[in-house]
Amino acid sequence: MHFGFSEEQLAIQTAARRFAADRLAPGYAERDKASVLDRDLMREMGTLGLIAPELEESDDSDKVSYVTTGLIIEAIAASDFNMAYVSLLASLNGQILAEHAAPDLKDEWLARVCSGEALLALALTEPRGGSDAGSLELGMVRDGAHYILNGEKTSISCADQADAAVVFARTGTREQGAAGVSAILVPLSLPGITSTHFDDIGERSVGRGSIFFDNVRVPQENLLGSEGSGFTQVMRGFDYSRALIGLQCLGLASACLEETWAYARERQAFGKPLTAFQGVSHRLAELDTQVSAARLLCYQTLWLKDQGLPHTAEAAMCKWWAPRLAFDTVHACLLVHGHAGYSRELPFEQRLRDVLGLQIGDGTAEIMKTVIARQRVGRKAVPM
């Protein structure tokens, strides 16, 4: 077994941490108020190679690993949870494009995404529900050299900021279920598209909203893979994003723990540092233990992906555990800071609001546990 990172990985991690601390941390709260991601910072991230570097064309020997991308997202999220979405959405959508888009489409959009010029959304959820994604209804009908889209996607991260979206729509019949779902890349500037912005409690600079499609004509070349293969593509993509989301949440949790250990050592009560009270230090020690263990699980999952080995169960474990653990960690750290932790002067309240969303986004804990159970005993033994 080998638990170390390579020299190159440590160098990228250091660069990401420095950029995040110097350039992202100062504006974390401001962007929450403005409710928008910063495009200039996105471009800086792109220039530094911090957006989906694993997607860049290179020889196999030079290829950036999935583990490395995890290190970047973890480092960025420690300073700005929301700007880490830029890398997350790029890796999730970019992988779908890299594997399934026509060459011209792939070259154009991957270059723009990795340089921080363009933001891609993933549009799967519909008003009737997100957990049962395979039964989605948004219509997609072939008309000559185009597909025509009609319907609504909802709860989409970056709905009103993204330049394009990977949209999942029904090309088959309802009876076909997931086998009738296709994926297509839709530039969001096309006629017939409108979007909204929800008034969320957290992740406000990322934002969620609905995207409405009213007879939107999309060139047939934008189809990703073949008709009917859309659902399988997104599920494979989720096996990747779930481990990255785990590290995004744990990056934030680790930052809280680091700050709180330091605070508790300095802060005095009853003539002693707070760490002298086991009610404080043992709670932090427990959370530190669990965060360390969850972090290993996330990196193991990405390592399995790097080796081309199955990792569906591990990815689902990352996704249900890390967001909840991170929320509990922020909560405990806020309380150790006493009344000061409850103020907007410190970042804990924003972190609490921000990290909560990922207990729902990308699939809830209940759905993740069903995925794990099905991996262990088969779908028939775990019917929905």
Closest CA to 354 of 79, 165, 160: 79
- Let me know if 120 is exposed, middle or buried by CB neighbors in 10 A (0-12, 13-18, 19+): buried
Binder among 246, 341, 347, 363 for ligand FAD (CB under 6 A) = 363
- Min dist CB 167 to ligand FAD, Å, is 9
Contact between 364 and ligand FAD by CB under 6 A: the answer reads yes
The interface region with ligand FAD, picked from 73-81, 104-112, 128-136, 324-332 by CB under 6 A, is 128-136
State which residue, 23 or 242, has the beta carbon closest to ligand FAD: 242
131 binds ligand FAD (CB under 6 A): yes
Q: How far apart are CA 222 and CA 35, in angstroms?
A: 30
Return the residue of 38, 54, 152, 203 that touches ligand FAD, per CB under 6 A: 203
In 3-state terms, what secondary structure has residue 380? coil
Residue 139 CA to residue 137 CA, distance in Å, equals 6
Q: Which residue is nearest to ligand FAD (CB)?
A: 130
The secondary structure element, H or E, covering residue 34 is helix 28-34
* Interacting residue with ligand FAD among 6, 360, 376, 379 (CB under 6 A): 360
Least Å from the CB of residue 309 to ligand FAD: 26
Q: Does 222 bind ligand FAD (CB under 6 A)?
A: no
* 3-state secondary structure (DSSP) of residue 269: strand
Q: Is 333 in the site for ligand FAD (CB under 6 A)?
A: no
Q: Do 184 and 224 contact (CB within 8 A), yes or no? A: yes
Structure tokens at 375: 């991996």
Q: How far apart are the C-alpha atoms of 320 and 324, rounded to whole Å?
A: 7
| The pair of three-digit structure tokens given for residue 200, joined into one six-digit string | 């969320």
* Residue 131 C-beta: closest distance to ligand FAD, Å: 3
Q: Measured from the CB atom, is 74 or 362 closer to ligand FAD?
A: 362
How far CA 347 is from CA of 81, 120, 308, 352, in Å, comes to 11, 28, 38, 9
CB of 200 to ligand FAD, least distance (A): 7
Span interacting with ligand FAD, options 13-21, 248-256, 338-346, 361-369, rule CB under 6 A: 361-369
Q: Does residue 155 bind ligand FAD (CB under 6 A)?
A: yes
User: What is the binding site for ligand FAD (CB under 6 A)?
Assistant: 121-125, 129-131, 155-157, 203, 208, 357, 360-364, 366-367, 384
